[in-house]
Every structure is written in C-alpha cells, then in structure tokens.
Amino acid sequence: MEMKAEAITVNDQQWKEFTLVNNNGMAVSILDFGGIITKILAPDRDGKLENVVIGFDNYADYLDNPGYFGALIGRVAGRIENGQFEIDGKSYTVPKNEGENHLHGGEPGFHKSIWSAEPFEKDEEVGLTLTLRSADGENGYPGNLRMTVNYTLNNQNELSIAYEGIADQKTVLTATNHSYFNLSGNLKTDIQDHEIKLDSSKFVELDEALIPTGKIVDVDNTAFDFRQGRPMKDGVSSEFKQNLVANHGYDHYFLFDHSQDVSATVRDTASGRELKVITDQPGVVMYTSNNLPEGLKLRERESVRYLGLCLETQASPASIHHDGFPSVWLDKDEKYSAKTTFVFGVIE
Ligand code: G6D
C-alpha cells in the first residue's frame, strides 16, 4: 500500500492531490478541491493498468467543470424543482442554477469547496478522510452541516466512498460522487458497448426539464430494464419517450430492488474490465453523458457524448415534493451516513 501527495497550484489556489496505490498497482487520485477523483488506474483482463474515469488534462479546468467530473456532489445531488422547499412551514430557496431549478447543490457546493484532507494507511487499506463545514444558509440550505467523506482503497481493488453528515437544524442532504466511468481504458472508446446490469425494476419518470413528475415507472418492456444486462446503446437508439427526454440515453433515478448484494454491474468485453457497485443507497442516477459538453481537453483526448457512465448512488430529491420516494430529509442532529463500494475486476 502506498500514499502519495502532491501540491498543485491552480491560479492563486493551493490544492493537494493524493494518490492511493494498492499492492496490485491499482491507483486512485483525489483532489482536496471538490474531493474530485481525477484518475483511477485499473487492470484489464491482461493486467494492463489504464485510466477508467474522465479527467481533465489541465487542473485549472476543474474550476469550471460543467460536467462535475469526478466530484463530490451536495448538499443535494440532483435537481430540486423550483429551487424551493419547506421545512416546518418555513420556505427555503436554493439557487436556480439550471433554468428554474436547482442542480447539484449550487455553487460552490461540495464540488468546488476545498475539503480538509487527512490521508491514512492501514495494513490492508489506504485512504483519505475529507471534511467540510457548510454554514447555515450557505446556498440557502438550512443548518450548520459537518460532512466527512472517507475514500478507501484495499487490495481487492475495492474503492469505497463513505459519507457522514450531521446538522444542527432539520435540512435536506443526499451526497454522491459524480465520476464518469469508461472501462475501455484511457478513453479508447465511448461507453455505448458497455453492458450494464441493474438490480432495479422501477425508475423515476422525468419531464422535459429532467424534473421528476412524481411517477415511478416499471422497467418492463422498456430500454430501462437492465435486470438481465443490456448494452448502454439501447438507450441511444430507443424511441421510448423517457430516453428521448434524456436526449437519447439515460439520466434517470433507478430504485434498487435490493434483491442481491451487487446493485449494478458494468462490463466492457473488449478490455475484459468489470465494475461492480455495492451500496446501502436506495437508488442510483444513471447518466450516460448524453449532454457531455464536447471538445473539452481531457487527459487522453477531447470529450464527446457518451464518453462516460455516471452511477450516482443517492436518495431522491423528488422526495422533497412527492411522497413515496427515498427521502433526502435529515432531522436536527440526525446522523446521515451512506456508503458505496466500486469493485474493479475482470470478466470471469
Ligand atoms: C446534465 O442532466 C445531466 C445531469 O444529470 C448531470 O449530473 C450533469 O449534466 C453533469 O445536467
């Protein structure tokens, strides 16, 4: 196990990048800025280590980062309709940073804050503890919030992300990580031929503004049925309204059936890489980078549509305005905790 730290100067800011390395050579690089995962080196079927996430070539590009590459997202990941919610009869407004709605916690949010970072090393794992305090009223969110995120890499090529939070007032909170996975290695291909399997029989219907309508829809007989596995490109060619709403792909919250330990599996047969997702979260936003800005200068190439797969495990902001959705409400002094493990392996 190894931990490396590097100081990075970006404009007038001093950042740090920590690289966790396990005994297999798998490596995960993380910035204290936004808790951003900038690189993950994972083996293919021949043991060749290549990068499997989208990341910028120039660190300064993370100051803008319109796609939220690799970043921790919060206080509320996803969209809050009208940027408005009520708690005990009091109305709160958060920034309408996407049209009439609120997206991904606003600015700076978790993704553009500098987190306090403490690396740690144990016999069989190496990791990074990130902490952040978000003041009452920041971006309109109520309550002084203390957040802790632990990134941990072990020798089974498992990268765990464990989130904890507590606030001194009732508030809303659901955090996630916004990495764009691409198992081809060094972004050789897009993700259209990645095979995806999800332990989910229901997903949340969206309107044209990608806001939940309040309906939960069965996946049966649609391109949203990933229970047996299917190639991501089925969502590109699908004429099903919800694939069209997402601009020819997926950008939807899937509710997990929790019928098995592994909630999601992604495979790239060309490289032989496989990614399994194990989580305590009730669902996941699967986003297939349908709206990824093109032409961004990434480490290996320029960005194009469908270059990365986001698996944003989280609760659902739809619960703010609708009953029957996995809740993002957090009571005063209630402990928020969430854990997702990404297991990098090869297809048996
Ligand atoms: C687009 O609609 C998508 C979001 O789901 C995604 O998180 C964001 O790009 C980065 O707005």
- pLDDT (tens digit per residue) in 315-334: 999 999 999 999 999 999 99
Cα 290 to ligand 1 centre (Å): 9
Which residues, in sequence order, are bridge partners of residue 116? 131
Binding residue per annotation — 225?
no
Nearest CA to ligand 1 atom 2: 251
Catalytic (active site) residue 312: yes
Cα 286 to ligand 1 centre (Å): 10
The CATH number of 2-346 is: 2.70.98.10
Cα 327 to ligand 1 centre (Å): 20
Q: Cα(122)–Cα(2) distance, rounded to whole angstroms?
A: 10
Q: Using alpha carbons, list the distances in angstroms from residue 105 to 82, 215, 244, 336.
A: 13, 23, 26, 16
Amino acid at 119: P
Q: Cα(116)–Cα(260) distance, rounded to whole angstroms?
A: 36
pLDDT score at 200: 98
Catalytic (active site) residue 178: yes
pLDDT score at 45: 98
Q: Cα(248)–Cα(240) distance, rounded to whole angstroms?
A: 9
Q: Which phi and psi (to 5°) does residue 252 adopt? A: -120, 155
Q: What is the pTM of this model?
A: 0.98
pLDDT score at 237: 97
Ligand 1 atom closest to the Cα of residue 104 is 7
Q: Which phi and psi (to 5°) does residue 131 adopt? A: -130, 150
Q: For residue range 140-163, what is the model confidence (pLDDT) as tens digits? A: 999 999 999 999 999 999 999 999
Among 112, 63, 53, residue whose Cα is nearest residue 310? 53
pLDDT score at 199: 98
pLDDT score at 291: 96
Neighbouring C-beta atoms of residue 273, cutoff 10 Å: 26
Ligand 1 atom closest to the Cα of residue 312 is 7
Collect the ranges in the chain with pLDDT lower than 70: none
pLDDT score at 308: 98
Cα 83 to ligand 1 centre (Å): 16
pLDDT score at 7: 97
pLDDT score at 67: 97
Catalytic residue among 102, 104, 178, 194: 178
Instruction: Please name the residue that has the structure tokens 């987190």.
Output: 115
Nearest CA to ligand 1 atom 1: 291
Neighbouring C-beta atoms of residue 319, cutoff 10 Å: 18
Ligand 1 atom closest to the Cα of residue 178 is 7
Q: Using alpha carbons, list the distances in angstroms from residue 249 to 101, 233, 286.
A: 21, 8, 10
